[in-house]
Amino acid sequence: MTLRDVAGDVMRRQEPGQARHEIWAERAQLLRTDRLTGLRNRLGWDEALDEAMFAASRFGAPLIVARIDLDSSKNPTTSAAGTDVPRQQPVVSFASRARKVVRNGDLFARLDGDVLLVALSRCPAPMATMILERIRTSVDEQPCSVGWAVWDGEEAPTVLMERAEQALTLAQERGGDQIAHL
């Protein structure tokens, strides 16, 4: 479903103006939400990250972006009874628990598969390390690797995301289930 589909659906309805606006807002929000975890999806993340970067530059506050990847080599793929466990179950459980650790106002999203993203606004590096460590250990039975980078105030979102991904790769190369930053 795209925004064009949403617009066509809303316009076809014979709802009064306010009801039409509410339907539009609800459908637009669904486009920005990951159906599996209820977190922001890539579209929601991109929009919110742009806003967070604007606020960080306006107030001169630090902004940290982290990329989290569940260590799938340690993920169970079958239950004790031998039946297949849905591949999504670990990420749903992890997202549910980790969401409780993220501060109000911070961004939390699911990129795809077992990859999650966090943006910590107005967060100095030592505090970011503590928050990300709490996220990393929020589900004992689900190890994960975390890579993070501090926005330099000028780089494009794609460059910042790439640096967080490089830090994640570093954490994974060191054996996984740990945090690295650039």
Output the pTM of the full model: 0.78
- More confident of the two residues 160 and 73: 160
**pLDDT tens column, 93-112:** 999 999 998 999 999 999 98
DSSP string covering 20-51: HHHHHHHHHHHHTB-TTTSSB-HHHHHHHHHH
Q: Record the tokens describing residue 177, joined without a space.
A: 């289930």
Contacts of 154 (CB under 8 A, 6+ apart): none
Contacts of 86 (CB under 8 A, 6+ apart): none
